[in-house]
Amino acid sequence: MYSIAQTSYHEWPESLQKILIVDDEESVCMVLTRVLEGAGHDVQVASNGREAIDRLKDEPFDLIITDLKMPGIDGLGVLAKAKETDPLCEVIVITGYASVDSAVEVMRLGAYDYITKPFNLDRIRFLAERALQRRRLSQAAAETEAYKRLAQLDGMTEAHNRRGFDELLSSEISRCRRFGRPLSLLMIDLDDLKVINDCFGHQAGDTVLKEVASALRKSVRHCDAVARYGGDEFAIILVETSKVDAIAKATLLKDLMPTPGRTSGMVGGRPQHTTTISIGVASYPADARTLDELVRQADRALYGAKARGGNCIKAANR
């Protein structure tokens, strides 16, 4: 039923990848194991769906080739569990009882391909290599995206860094310009952080930065963005937010901080400290028509708030 034809396909995997074959027919498992091990893969076998799912709990697989019809847990169950365990795991489903409905369901659940018995082993080998290649590409893309996210985060506070802020603000302004929606920017400065650093040390100052960043992130919507703009300054992008609403949000954020006061002495043998924040508010398009102008207006408003003694809010052009 299954014959291995001569083939010119000699592309070997870049690294040893793990394949799980799931079939209650021992002869199918033996042939597939021989073909795929010959292509340089680490191949393991499960004789039923339950055994396959138990394997998935213990170790990851790059590719699963499973029969559709098996006693107990069938191939659909194996496919669903594989995707639940690792969404990037590729699955090829084989069956001797093909139907349009089963093919649609298999592909809907995320299978790489669906083939019928008897099958050509060259095709199995080719599909396996293509599926594994897609897995490698998917993993690389996921890693690249993860590195990109890390490159946009401030290591200390886990807020967006200046690079991430610039990219997000540029993107949001373009979106607002396209759809005619408002956007507001809050520039925030920690009042007298230098005093905390001088009195209690830079570790205490770092702790304050982390706590403030965490409080800001928890106090805005998921669609908004908190960034460490530099030193003791933060910026918050409030999407689709008017100037009036931005001032209201700034007031709430300011009130999150402790009551004005520089230190509260020693508690439990550890120095205690408090801080306050000053906030500058500017909005697009009310105060600015470009990214640079928006940042400049928010910065100018922040300097005005600091000039008033800190622990206050100032809006641009007010």
Cis check: omega of the bond before 271, within 30 degrees of 0: no
Cα separation of 243 and 288, whole Å? Answer: 12
- Using alpha carbons, select from 315, 301, 285 the residue that is nearest to residue 173: 285
Largest CA distance in the chain: 87
Say yes or no: do domains 18-147 and 162-315 share a fold. no
Token representation of residue 107: 């592909």
According to CATH, the topology of domain 18-147 is Rossmann fold (3.40.50)
Contact 117, 24 (CB under 8 A): no
Cis check: omega of the bond before 87, within 30 degrees of 0: no
Distance linking the first and last C-alpha atoms of the chain: 83
Q: What is the pLDDT of residues 44-67, one digit of tens each?
A: 999 999 999 999 988 999 999 999
pLDDT at residue 293 above 80? yes
Token representation of residue 206: 């770092």
pLDDT at residue 261 above 50? no
pLDDT at residue 267 above 80? no
What's the pLDDT at 194?
84
Token representation of residue 310: 């800190």
Phi-psi region of 290 (alpha: psi -120 to 50; beta: other; left: phi over 0): beta
> How much of the chain exceeds pLDDT 70, in percent?
88
Tell me which CATH homologous superfamily contains domain 162-315.
Reverse transcriptase/Diguanylate cyclase domain (3.30.70.270)
Read off the pLDDT of each residue in 228-252 and give the average, rounded to a whole number.
Answer: 95
Q: Where are the domains of the chain?
A: 18-147, 162-315
Please compute Rg for the chain using Cα positions: 29
